[in-house]
Amino acid sequence: MSVYLTMILRTATLLFLLPFSISIMAEVEGNCELCHKFPGIGRYTQTESDPAKDPAHREKFILYIDDELYDASYHGKIHCKGCHIGVDKIPHTDVPKVDCATDCHIRDPSVDKAFSHKKIVDDFRKSVHGVDGSRSEDKSGLPVCKDCHTNKTYHIDIEARVGTEDFLKVCNECHQSEAWTKRFFEHMLYRSLKRRTSREVIKLCSRCHMDAELMAKHNLDYVAGFKETFHAKAISYGDEDVANCLNCHAPYQLGFSPHRIKSARDESSPTHSENKIETCRQAGCHMKAQLKFGAGSRVHPSPGKIQLVGRTTTTKTTTASREAEKKLLADTLFEAKVIGWIILFYKVLIACVISGFILHRSLDIYAARREKRIMRSLMK
């Protein structure tokens, strides 16, 4: 009897709880804010080494989403599940990573089709950073969209940067949805503004390209010489008129794009020795540059790692390009040597002159003191 009673009670309890569980499921379908509205929500990443014992190596993930701020962000019009596909149970296990090439439910007004970043993702795959275009044998460390598009989580400063409420009033004369005009205007505005300052671009690129270990893994030079160039010095002051990485390696002006960035060894690359002069001559840069200005080897060779320059792993290299590579290496080494000699010459000269002066001046002081002593003793 007691067995039956227990079964009945269990069934009743389950039946009683069922509507609640369904309602929770329903919330997950459409209402992510149910959980993600709580500021305390978050987690630590687990590291492969030892997650529990080594808190220093754990990264904190804040999973809190502020509704208002999210709406003001780039993707504010897209629902969470538009990108986070496969989130249908709690906890969210076995969820695939966000794929930026996914079709959105937003329609691209220019062609009236579902909008997608697919084209740019495909371009990127073919670029030197992408899995198809990379010459590296080890494709594991290659960058993905999010490595560069480290967008601030929220663009709360957009109002401050835009500051054009009056302009929006003009839009709203015809367009009825104020929210829409604001979004559209901001979109256009953001696209016409520089996304990053030159300082930020350098910081972003050097995060990988100045990592000697990572670069060695892909058989590349790490960039150490750039900070010695005049461009870098001007940028460090916040000068936006001089070239940062992208102005030479992917100049929009010449029809290149960071998503289609190419190796300097690629003949169609803007930094290839044949094309360098055109890159230097871009409007606003060295427009009067003579042909010989673009000659020579590397603009920013890495002093310590020069011997790496010549190594290539790609199977695509031809004899001609290998010869060119060899010549480039020889030139780079020669130039580094010449500069090195000049610097050494001045170091020695400065050491000699200055120590000579100091010695002479010290003797002078010594003599003056002696004279003073003698004078004093004479006075007595």
CB of 371 to another protein, least distance (A): 8
Q: 43 has which bridge partners? A: 61
Quick one: angle between helices 178-192 and 165-174, nearest 10?
Answer: 130
CB of 265 to another protein, least distance (A): 18
Helix (H, G, I), strand (E, B) or coil at 88: coil
Q: CB of residue 331 vs another protein: minimum separation in angstroms?
A: 8
d(CA 89, CA 331): 61
We find the least distance from the C-beta atom of residue 92 to another protein, in angstroms, to be: 42
CB neighbour list of residue 228: distance below 8 Å, 6 or more residues apart: 300
State the minimum distance, in angstroms, from the CB of residue 206 to another protein: 14
How far is the C-alpha of 289 from the C-alpha of 299, rounded, in Å? 15
User: Given the complex with another protein, which of 234 and 264 has the nearer CB atom?
Assistant: 234
- In 3D space, the residue among 7, 64, 75, 1 whose CA is nearest the CA of residue 38 turns out to be 64
Beta strands in the chain (DSSP E): 42-44, 60-62, 103-108, 113-116
Cβ at position 354, least distance to another protein in Å: 5
Question: Which 8-state DSSP code applies to residue 57?
Answer: G
Nearer to another protein, 252 or 366 (CB): 366
Contacts to another protein by CB under 8 A: 230, 233-234, 236-241, 286-290, 292-297, 299, 335, 338-339, 342-343, 345-346, 349-350, 353-354, 357-358, 360-361, 363-368, 370, 372
CA distances from 321 to 68, 264, 265 (A): 55, 12, 8
Enter the tokens of residue 77. Answer: 């019009």
Residue among 297 and 302 whose Cβ is closer to another protein: 297
Q: Which is nearer to another protein, 181 or 282 (CB)?
A: 282
State the number of CA atoms in the 13 A half-sphere of 115 facing the CB.
Answer: 11
What span, in angstroms and rounded, lies between the C-alpha atoms of 211 and 306?
15
| Residue closer to another protein, measured from CB, 259 or 298 | 298
The per-residue b/e assignment along 327-363, b for 16 or more CB within 10 angstroms, e otherwise, is ebbebbbeebeeeeeeeeeeeeeeeeeeeeeeeeeee
Nearer to another protein by C-beta: 252 or 334?
334
> Which is closer to another protein, CB of 11 or CB of 290?
290
Instruction: State the nearest-atom distance from the C-beta of 199 to another protein, in Å.
Output: 9
Residue 308, C-beta contacts closer than 8 angstroms, at least 6 positions apart: 216, 219, 220, 221, 302
Least distance to another protein from the beta carbon of 155, Å? 20
Considering beta carbons, is residue 105 or 337 the nearer one to another protein?
337
